[in-house]
Structure formats: C-alpha cells, structure tokens
C-alpha cells in the first residue's frame, strides 16, 4: 500500500510539472499573438484559431492542477460545489480543445491545398472567411456539452440513490448517462480532422511529385516537406488524443472508474502539439529564441556578477 501511494504521488508530481510546462508554453503563444494584435498587426485566421486553442488548453491545465489538489481533499467526491465547478470548466476546455483542433486542421487544409473543384472553392470561401464565427460556434458547442454534463449530474443527484455494494455497479455510475452525448459529439471532430488531414497530405504529395518531374531543378522543396511533417504530426496528435478520449469514456462505461493516468497523458499531449506549433511557426520560433536568449543572458550576467563579488570579498 505504501509503495502504491508513493507511486501515485510521483505520478501526480510528474503530471503537475507537465501541466506547469503546458501553462508556460500555451501562455507564450497567446502572449505573442495578442501582443501583435495590440500593436495593430493583423491576425491571420490560423493565428486566431491558435490563440483560442491556447486559451482552451490553459484553462484545461488550470482545471487539471486544481483538481489534482482538490480531488484528494474531497476523496474523489465531485458532488462538492467547488470540485463540480472545476470539473465543468475542465469538461468545457477539453471539448473546446477538440473542436478548435479540428477547425485548425480544416482551415489549414483549405488555405494550403491546391484543389480546383467547385465544391472545394465554395468551402474555402465559406469557411475561411467565417473563421471567427466558427470559433464562436466551437465555443458554443463546448458550452452546450458542459451544460449537458451539469444537467446529468444534477439529475443523478436528485433522482438516484447510489449503492456501491450492488452487484451491477454500472447501473449506478454517476456519469453513465453522459457517455452517449460525449461520444456522439466527439465523432464529428474526429472525422473532420481525419478527412482534412488526409486530403491536405495527398494534395501536398501530388504537388511535390509534379514539381520533381518538372525540369526546374532550382525549386526548394524543404518548405513543402516541413508542412507535410507538421500535417503528419498534427494528424497523429489529434488521432491519439481522441483515441485516449474515447478509451477513457469506454473504460468508464464498462468499469465505472476514471483512468487517472490516461487523463494525465491527455493533459501532456497538447503540450507537445503547442511546442511543435512554436517550432514550425516562424513568428513564434523567433520570439521564443529571443526569450531564451534573454533568459540565458540574465543567468550569465547574474553568475558573472556573483563571481566578481566573490573575488572582491577574497581580495579584501
């Protein structure tokens, strides 16, 4: 029992470090884009989605950190009003993260792909120029999802008596009714990001093939390869994140138990995706280099100052 408790504590500390790192990375993305907007520079549609995505991920990290402290205090009793509010906030931010990630994949596909079909051109004109409204729709869908979550908990608290000694515990799970709308609501983002990512990757592959077959040997393909790597990474991230999400739902449906370790993994995956966004985006990468250089200069200046002071003390 002691070893198990120590193991849980170590996992909790590791998760806390990952969440704090996520807060720093997501807040950096928000800071760069908001600062540019504040200075009067126009934000692209991608920047708008990435900024809102960073806000949703910051909210989920904050909720995760608070739950990691509050849940042990209340011994997993989410009927507590404080824990309930935090749980609803976490649910809302996770749902917004899923929908905004899918929207990012769709807009990325529409802006980069070189299809010329009538349907594609219609979708590009309709979706790309209405990005702000689609961001609002994603937030609204997430809010409705959280409202369903709240109504499910309220109904269970008022109309059911839970008896943990029953032989069929599934019938008495607190959130079993919430499994169905959550599963249905996450299927559409999974399909949309999968289709858009495959179509974009296919478009880039065919375009690179045509360029290689042309007689112009001076064409630099590194940019296209970089975009393909980013698309592949984003596709893997979205797929793994949603598969973990579905598995958590399925496991709870079968065993009526939350998989804490998998929820921690789901909290760490957005950190990797945001880090890749910083690396692949020139503006974010440049600002991150400046920040790191300032930190290094500050540390070395402090060390040099301390060394010189020590030398003066020894000389005296």
**Residue 161: DSSP 8-state:** -
**Closest C-alpha among 47, 21, 45 to residue 36:** 47
158-to-78, 171, 188, 222, 290 alpha-carbon distances in Å? 14, 16, 32, 60, 55
Burial class (CB in 10 A: 0-12, 13-18, 19+), 128: middle
Query: Of all residues in the chain, what percent are helix, strand and coil, respectively (each to 5)?
Result: 85, 0, 15
What is the rounded distance in angstroms from the CA atom of residue 110 to the CA atom of residue 223? 18
pLDDT in tens, the chain (316 residues): 444 455 456 666 777 787 888 889 999 999 999 998 888 888 888 899 999 999 999 998 888 877 766 666 655 555 567 777 887 888 899 889 989 999 998 998 888 888 878 888 888 888 888 889 999 999 999 898 888 877 776 655 555 444 444 344 334 465 555 666 677 777 888 888 888 888 888 888 888 888 777 755 556 777 788 888 888 888 898 888 888 888 887 787 777 777 777 777 787 888 889 998 998 888 888 888 888 888 887 777 766 565 555 555 444 5
Spatial contact of 99 and 142, defined as CB atoms under 8 Å apart: yes
Burial class (CB in 10 A: 0-12, 13-18, 19+), 110: buried
Q: Residues near 79 by Cβ (< 8 Å), separated by ≥ 6? A: 157
Task: Provide the residue ranges of all domains of the chain, joining segments of one domain with +.
Answer: 8-289
Identify the CATH homologous superfamily for domain 8-289.
Answer: Rhodopsin 7-helix transmembrane proteins (1.20.1070.10)
Q: Whose structure tokens read 């990001």?
A: 193
H runs (alpha helix) in 130-178:
131-159
Spatial contact of 146 and 91, defined as CB atoms under 8 Å apart: yes
Helix crossing, 260-280 with 45-74: angle to 10°? 150
- DSSP states of 12-51: HHHHHHHHHHHHHHHHHHHHHHHHHHHTTPPPPHHHHHHH
pTM: 0.82
């Amino acid at each position: 029992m002691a070893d198990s408790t120590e193991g849980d504590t170590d996992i909790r500390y590791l998760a806390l470090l990952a969440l704090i790192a996520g807060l720093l990375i997501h807040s950096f993305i928000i800071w760069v884009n908001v600062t540019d907007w504040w200075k009067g520079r126009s934000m692209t549609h991608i920047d708008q989605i990435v900024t809102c995505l960073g806000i949703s991920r910051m909210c989920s990290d904050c909720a995760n950190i608070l739950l990691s402290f509050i849940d042990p205090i209340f011994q997993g009793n989410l009927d507590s009003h404080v824990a309930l509010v935090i749980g609803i906030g976490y649910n809302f931010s996770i749902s917004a993260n899923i929908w905004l990630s899918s929207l990012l994949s769709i807009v990325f596909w529409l802006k980069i792909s070189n299809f010329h079909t009538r349907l594609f051109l219609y979708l590009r004109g309709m979706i790309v120029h209405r990005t702000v409204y689609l961001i609002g729709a994603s937030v609204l869908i997430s809010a409705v999802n959280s409202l369903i979550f709240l109504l499910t908990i309220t109904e269970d608290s008022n109309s059911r008596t839970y008896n943990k000694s029953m032989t069929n515990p599934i019938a008495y799970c607190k959130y079993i009714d919430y499994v169905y709308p959550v599963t249905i609501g996450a299927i559409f983002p999974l399909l949309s990001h999968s289709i858009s990512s495959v179509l974009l990757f296919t478009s880039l592959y065919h375009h690179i093939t045509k360029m290689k077959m042309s007689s112009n040997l001076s064409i630099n393909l590194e940019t296209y390869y970089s975009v393909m790597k980013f698309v592949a990474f984003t596709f893997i991230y979205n797929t793994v994140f949603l598969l973990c999400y579905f598995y958590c739902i399925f496991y709870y449906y079968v065993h009526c138990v939350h998989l804490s370790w998998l929820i921690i993994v789901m909290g760490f995956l957005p950190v990797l995706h945001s880090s890749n966004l910083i690396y692949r985006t020139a503006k974010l990468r440049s600002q991150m280099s400046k920040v790191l250089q300032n930190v290094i200069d500050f540390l070395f200046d402090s060390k040099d100052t301390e060394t010189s002071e020590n030398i003066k003390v020894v000389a005296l």
